[in-house]
Amino acid sequence: MTDEARRRLRAIKTFSDLGSGFQLALRDLEIRGAGNILGVQQHGRMNAVGFELYCDLLERAIRRMRGKEIAAHIEPIVSLDVELFIPHDYVPFEQQRIAVYKRLADAKDVQTLAEIRAELEDRFGPIPRQVQNLFDAVEIKCAAAKSGAESVVMRGGTATIEFPKGCEPTRHVLKRIVRYPVDFVTAEKSGIRLQLTGNELRLLKKFLLTLSGSPDS
């Protein structure tokens, strides 16, 4: 029997009580490794669903077993053509990076993000560009959810934001909050297209924060 198999058996023996599935899954994650969280090199069942969804599914399964209510949970899809990751030379240990990714995935407001940023800067120094992009992406996702958007895609300075049919902002609203070209997108879902010049990520974030009525805009 291999050493890894022995460690798995010890973990199963330790976490055998009802409701301890999440702890067992985390221990299994430690044993086999988490892979490249934001890339394609992952392991086990997480390879099919990704780390964030994997943790969310585990949490939902535990709540279901305990008879607790499971709220509807719909988050916008965000796809940005920028580097979004925590470099190994910034946060050197894999488990620390996993913990930061998980906290960012769970963050729902600017205050929480500010606390995570302050902790990172205190422990590891000024955050690099890739990590700044990661923070911006989480803010974009939060603002998109608050504004009712279903997806946000940015490619080559053009951002496309899709909304449920009939829920997109009107042209009158858009003219009040933006000063760069905006076109309506006609497709299966209604949306808007932004042509961004300069710091595209920051401009996109500012637009969504303004659209959502956030005081941080």
User: CA angle 153-159-160, nearest 5°?
Assistant: 65
End-to-end CA distance of the chain: 58
Dump the DSSP string for the chain: --HHHHHHHHHHHHT-STT-HHHHHHHHHHHH----TTSS---TTHHHH-HHHHHHHHHHHHHHHTT---------EEEESS-----TTTS-SHHHHHHHHHHHHH--SHHHHHHHHHHHHHHH-SPPHHHHHHHHHHHHHHHHHHHT-SEEEEETTEEEEEESTT-SPPHHHHHHH--S-EEEE-SSSEEEEEE--SSHHHHHHHHHHHHHT-TT-
d(Cα 193, Cα 190) in Å, to the nearest integer?
10
Q: Where are the domains of the chain?
A: 3-65, 77-212
| pLDDT digit string (tens) for the chain, length 217 residues | 677 677 767 766 665 555 556 555 666 655 555 444 334 344 444 444 445 555 666 666 777 777 776 555 567 888 888 888 899 999 998 888 888 988 888 888 889 999 999 999 999 999 999 999 999 999 999 888 888 888 899 988 888 898 887 777 777 777 777 766 666 655 555 788 888 877 888 888 888 888 877 655 4
Let me know: does 90 contact 127? Beta carbons within 8 Å.
Answer: yes
- CATH number for the domain whose boundaries are 77-212: 3.90.1150.50
pTM tops 0.85, yes or no:
no
